[in-house]
Amino acid sequence: MFSKIVLALDGSEPSDRVIPVAKGVAETGTARIDIVHVREVIAGRAGGHTARADEDDLEQRVRAQAKELAEAGFDTHLHIESTVGGGPGHVIADVARTVGADLIVIGTRGHSPVAGLLLGSVTQRLLHIAPCPVLAIPPQAALTAAPAGDAVASAS
């Protein structure tokens, strides 16, 4: 059903849980998975610095995850993008538009409604601007196999 999937990964442990879901949605050898990792850059007088101090480690983790997907037989393409103030949601939507994605798979952090308002939410923003459906995986979701071998996400 989905032949072009954008998988948004930030390299954090919570984003790891979306990889099995993307694999379940994309059948090996038939779907393309475009992994998008966005480096948020803070511009200043001395140039730009990443918003996260451990950005290099996170990026290496995402590169390793992309390699694992490719080695498992998935047509995998990695996009490492940078943004200054635009927000990762816009970058993810732009990549989805560029590659003609059928679906975007992304995790949620599980912030409370108040924290989500104060901190903002990449997933929430993406739901408003994405050019295709967005599959948002909550923190409590776990991947289970359906009897027919289809992958489904369920809350545990």
Q: How confident is the model at residue 56 (pLDDT cuts 50, 70, 90)?
A: confident
pLDDT of amino acid 139: 78
Q: CA 22, CA 24: separation in Å to the nearest integer?
A: 5
Q: How many CB atoms lie within 10 A of CB 16?
A: 13
Residue 106 confidence (pLDDT) above 70? yes
**pLDDT confidence of residue 15:** 84
Which tokens belong to 13?
Answer: 């442990």
SS3 content of the chain, % helix, strand, coil (to 5): 35, 30, 30
How is residue 123 written in tokens?
Answer: 């997933």
- pLDDT at residue number 11: 86
Following DSSP, what letter does each residue of 43-69 receive, concatenated?
EETTEEEESSTTHHHHHHHHHHHHHHH
Confidence of residue 147 (pLDDT cuts 50, 70, 90): very low
Nearest Cα neighbor of 102 from 2, 28, 13, 8 is: 2
pLDDT of residue 60: 94
Query: Once rounded to an integer, what is the mean pLDDT over residues 57-61?
Result: 91
Structure tokens at 144: 């289970």
- Output the CA–CA distances (angstroms, integers) from residue 71 to 19, 34, 58, 148, in the order listed: 14, 15, 20, 24
pLDDT of residue 144: 46
Question: What is the average per-residue pLDDT within 1-5?
Answer: 90
pLDDT band at residue 47 using 50, 70 and 90 as cut-offs: low
How much is the average pLDDT of 110-138? 76
The mean per-residue pLDDT over the stretch 77-85 comes to 89
The pLDDT score that the predictor gives to residue 145 is: 38
Q: Please name each of the domains of the chain with its CATH number.
A: 4-155 (3.40.50.620)
In this prediction the pTM is 0.81
Pull the structure tokens for residue 150.
């289809």
Q: Please tell me the predicted confidence (pLDDT) of residue 140.
A: 74
